[in-house]
Amino acid sequence: MASTTTGMQLRILHLEDSPADHELAAITLRRAKVSHSIQRVDTLEDFRQLTQLQVFDVILADYRLPGFTALDAWAVIRGEPRQPPFILLSGAIGEAAAVDAIRLGISDYVLKDDMARLPHVIARACEVHEARLAREHAAQELAASQKRLAELTEHLQSSIEQERAAIAREIHDDIGGALTAIRFDLAWIGRHTQQQDLLDHVHAATAMLQHAIGASQRIMMNLRPPILDQGLVAAVQWLADSFERRSSVPTRVQSSAATIDLPAAVQLVAYRTAQEALTNISKYAEPSAVHIDLSDTEGVFTLEVTDNGRGIDPAALKKPKAFGLNGLRERARTVDGWLDISSMPGKGTSVILSVPLMANEENGDIQ
């Protein structure tokens, strides 16, 4: 049903069994110079048919009519996407009943012996109705925008992972192959020369080459870790071991099982969450210990990365440019999960990823 448009004639439906009362309402509106057209019905069936066939901006209804009440009429249109304001215009309703009706969603009420209030009540009800429609429209637009953003984020994350895998393959096949060939050539030179200065250069080049091979392997692991093929628990343990070697911070991994069977998409989101959390810890936290917990109990997979470091200022969590944390939240949404961050300055931080597994199982993602 359409809403009223300011400055246009109001289309009013009057549910009333008394022609005299109907005429009194029409006269009151005319005297108040309310531009309107008004139709009267006095049966519930006529009301139902007319509201289905025509569009009204306002509905006025007597409370008690032969065989039914205004609440029965309200039930007919309640829940319609654009139901118009519904106003009780009655002389046979107590204040308590009127309040109960308003609690059900009816816009307002006017007593017949106070008919002069009718134009004001209609104007106010229409304003409230328009404001409600505007809010609903804004909410729908926001929901649609958030859905588009989520879809874009999912597409971007998928594209990024595909590009990372392609780059990792190129590093392995091209750069890795070339570095290995150079290592063989240096080894051959080292075996076939007796010149000490040349041997010194060979040893120095071999050391640099070994560093380059290690760097390329580390980059490949960060881009698309093949250890994920061994399962998430093994991959997170590798992350923790690597972090501990680099930072000298004791890092403990605890899991509810030796292996946790998860969809590939959930595994990757969990791995990237742990990776980003450890990266943030190494940059900012200055902890003396880190603990990572993996669990898949009660149909929900949970990854928790906790440190006892400096913590995060609550205001920092709300910064628009907190791209790392916001990126983790968007990653979680791509698998119908969510991310919680609990932190207090000086008392450490917990990053918790939760993913319901039933939804992913129904989507056929379980490996």
Averaged pLDDT, groups of 10, the chain, 367 residues long: 57 95 94 94 94 92 92 90 88 79 89 92 92 90 85 76 79 86 92 91 92 85 78 94 94 94 91 92 94 94 96 72 73 91 90 86 48
8 A C-beta contact, residue 344 and residue 241:
no
Residue 206 tokens read as 């071999």
pLDDT of residue 187: 92
| Residue 186, number of CB atoms within 10 A of its CB | 16
Quickly tell me which residue has 């048919």 as its tokens: 49
Q: Spell out the domains of the chain, with CATH numbers in brackets.
A: 10-138 (3.40.50.2300), 228-367 (3.30.565.10)
pLDDT of residue 320: 59
How would DSSP label each residue in 34-52?
Answer: --EEEEEE-SHHHHHHHHH
Residue 130 tokens read as 């328009």
**Alpha-helix residue ranges (DSSP H) falling in the chain:** 19-31, 44-53, 70-77, 95-103, 118-170, 176-191, 196-223, 232-247, 264-280, 314-317, 323-334, 357-362
Tell me how far apart the alpha carbons of residues 333 and 345 are, in angstroms, rounded to a whole number. Answer: 27
